Structure 1
Amino acid sequence: MTAWSDTPPPAATQPVVLVVDDSLETLRMLGDALVAEGYVVLAARDAQEALDRFEVAIPDGVLLDAVMPGMDGFDLCQRIKSTPAWSHVPVLFMTGLSDSEPLLRGFASGGVDYVVKPLRIPEVMARLATHVRNARVARLAQEAVDVAGLGTVVLDSLGRLAWRSPQAMVWLGQAFGADAAGQAQATHWLAAARREGTAQADGAQGRLLARHLGQGSLGESMLLLSLTPLNTAAAQRLREVALTPRETEVLSWLAKGKTNRDIADILGMSHRTVNKHLEHVFEKLGVETRAAAAAIAGRLLPQE
């Protein structure tokens, strides 16, 4: 990692900003202005150099040129935001494009703000300072949640998984699987919890409950997860019946009076898949009707 030329060793509290632009003039101008404001400055001429800087030191903010040779700023921003360890870093676009399409593309790729070229340095400094400060506060809050061991999830305005605590990652992986398909099912389940207020998933580890805590800025939503372990007797009976975690989940929703179509919507699967799961459940339980299956579910599954 190389900081801006003639920059003294950074103090622990000095924020680090990465400037990405193919123009040396712009890099020098911003570098001088940022150093004068107390930032440690990293510079990159293209997307690959920017990624190399991230591999060495994660900055507190990025000033990113939207139009560059090779990988443009929009694709680079998507790459940053899709990497969990980097996704919290605020990205501000610098653009000389005045129409709305590239601006919308910048926000869609994960940018938090933009400044228009030719740059007005006082405006750039003010916007950057605000986003770096907000990102640091949010990061400290997330680290506090991590230390406390809480199962917390944040969904963005489009229902995508924006952040999850380590405990939430473990519980969601146990309930839905850690592969891409499992993560997609978990995200759909969390979106249902946001829409309905709560959602639950029953599996071999117990009952996972998601509660929607409310909506924050930019349409983000926070959900709190909790796990109620199965009691020993119920766990033993479930092992004897040999229901899969997904079959257990379908049975649980059936016991709550949900129709097959309701269950399909809640769990993010097709109506046909729900029918197939129920066929297996009925066979394993030795029943032929929904009412009989629901009655057994009331004895096997933990109650709220």
Structure 2
Amino acid sequence: MNNEPPELDRGAGVVLVVDDVPDNLALLHDALDEGGYTVLVATSGEQALTRAAQADIVLLDAVMPGMDGFEVARRLRADPRTAATPIVFMTGLTESEHLVAAFAAGVNDYVTKPVRTSEVLARMAAHLHSARTQRQARNALDAFGHASVVLRPRDGRLVWQTALARRLLAEFFIGTDAPGADGLAPAPMRAWLAEKPALGATFSVTQGARRLSFVLHQTLSEDEWLLVLREQSDAATIAALGPAFGLTARESQVLYWVLQGKTNRDIGDILGTSPRTVTKHLEHVFEKLGVETRTAAAVLVVKRLGPMAGAMGG
């Protein structure tokens, strides 16, 4: 039996409205339906958590019996499927401490009750546009092999991550190092962030013959940093060098081990050949790259293959 939810007509967007008062649900449902939205409803926090993954945006009541809107928001932010879904609070609580608590829980915006449907529609449109732009950017990054995450350096919490990044983090970090159910980045990532790395800094983790490298690519704000991830292995990197620089398979191997800081004698031992043969291959490599030194070759590789190539040496 297929337990997957049916495919929804996205229309202008899919909205989950969470409120325990039927009259409020009816008012919002009718207004959103007329606006071209597909509307899902939930009358409790528990229902909201089971349905939110289908939604493009969540309209969330703050005060409900049982699980309130603050806890729902925290759980949605901790779930990778809904971590980037916009949340608009609907609340009659207008004291500053309540609003601070709402934003701390992860909501994007709020409207006061009794809600004005025109205001709700306007705010939703703005947040949906922003969310779609971010989703397109994440998809584009994945398409080019640039798995990416945005996180908060002050507490190590993941703000959003591309699908490829989510898969790589799950594969490389397991057990006590795994991403937390509360939305925290893996422990080694948080330890690296605590060192306050500079823009462009890299670190890597290994799993057998596989290596996952990270580069601090951009600071989106003081409280949000963008990391680009790339999985690397010796074989994959060697394979990439050939077409990038017009090298033979053996020349690619020699260049790769040069980038690892190996001497000609070391490379000969690795490849099962003599240091003299390695020297000949390296002369051909330098000629094809138009450089004269190992350092110049490394710089050229980084420029051609991007900043992640700088992590080849681990």
Q: Same fold (TM over 0.5)?
A: yes
- State the alpha-carbon separation in 1 of the partners of residues 78 and 224 from structure 2: 17
Letter paired with 1:136:
R
Superposition pairs for residues 179-194 of structure 1, below 5 Å?
179-183=175-179, 184-189=186-191, 191-192=193-194
1:140-178 C-alpha deviation (Å, 9 max, x unpaired)? 221222233323221136431223334434554565x32
1:268 match: none
Following the alignment from structure 1 to structure 2, what is the Cα–Cα distance between the partners of residues 202 and 219? 24
The one-letter code of the counterpart of 1:164 is Q
2 CA distance for matches of 1:14 and 1:76? 24
Q: Distance in 1 between matches of 2:149 and 2:16?
A: 28
Residue by residue over 1:112-143, the C-alpha shift from the partner in whole angstroms, topping out at 9 and shown as x without a partner, is: 11111121222211111111111122112212
Q: In structure 2, the residue corresponding to 1:138 is in which secondary structure?
A: helix
| Aligned residue-pair number | 231
Among residues 208, 215, 225, which one is paired with 1:211 in the alignment? 215
Letter in 1 for 2:220: G
1:6 corresponds in structure 2 to none
CA distance in 2, matches of 1:73, 1:173: 29
- Bigger shift: residues 70-79 or 185-194: 185-194
User: Deviation string for 1:9-43 (max 9, x for gaps)?
Assistant: 96444311111111112111111211121111111
Runs of 4+ in 1 over 6 A off after TM superposition: 231-234
Q: Which residue of 1 aligns with 2:43?
A: 45
Give the AA of the match of 1:215: T
2:17 counterpart residue number: 19
The unaligned stretches of length 5 or more in structure 1 are 1-8, 238-300
Query: Unpaired segments of 5 or more residues in structure 2?
Result: 1-6, 180-185, 236-252, 261-265, 267-310
Match of 1:201? Answer: 204
> Which of 139, 146, 162 is the aligned partner of 2:159?
162
Residues 111-150 of structure 1: matches in 2 within 5 Å?
Answer: 111-150=107-146
CA deviation after TM superposition for structure 1 residue 99, in Å: 0.8
| Cα distance between partner residues in 1 of 2:166 and 2:85 | 20
Change (3 A) 1:87 1:302: closer
Match of 2:34 in 1: 36
CA contact (8 A) 1:64 1:92 kept: yes
Q: What is the match of residue 63 of structure 1?
A: 59
Partners of 2:28 and 2:10 in 1: how far apart? 22
Give the drift of 1:181: 2.7
Deviation string 1:179-237 (CA, Å, 9 cap, x unpaired) is 34344323314525763231323534366442222222683221112455458988xx9
Indicate the SS of the match to 1:22: coil
Cα distance, 1:61 vs structure 2: 0.6
Give the counterpart of 1:224 among 225, 228, 238.
228
Distance 1:179 1:34, change over 3 A: same
- SS of residue in 2 equivalent to 1:195: coil
Report how far residue 81 of structure 1 moved.
1.6
Secondary structure class of the residue paired with 1:79: helix
Alignment check: 8 A CA contact 2:11 2:36 kept: no
User: In the alignment, which residue of structure 1 is the partner of 2:292?
Assistant: none
Q: Find the counterpart in structure 1 of residue 243 from structure 2.
A: none
SS at match of 1:196: coil
TM-score (norm 1): 0.65
Secondary structure (helix, strand or coil) at the match of 1:224 reads strand
Worse-superposed segment, 100-109 or 152-161: 152-161
1:69 CA drift (Å): 0.3
Other structure's SS at 1:216 match? strand
Answer yes or no: is the 8 Å Cα contact 1:194–1:211 preserved in 2. Answer: no
TM-score, normalisation: structure 2: 0.63
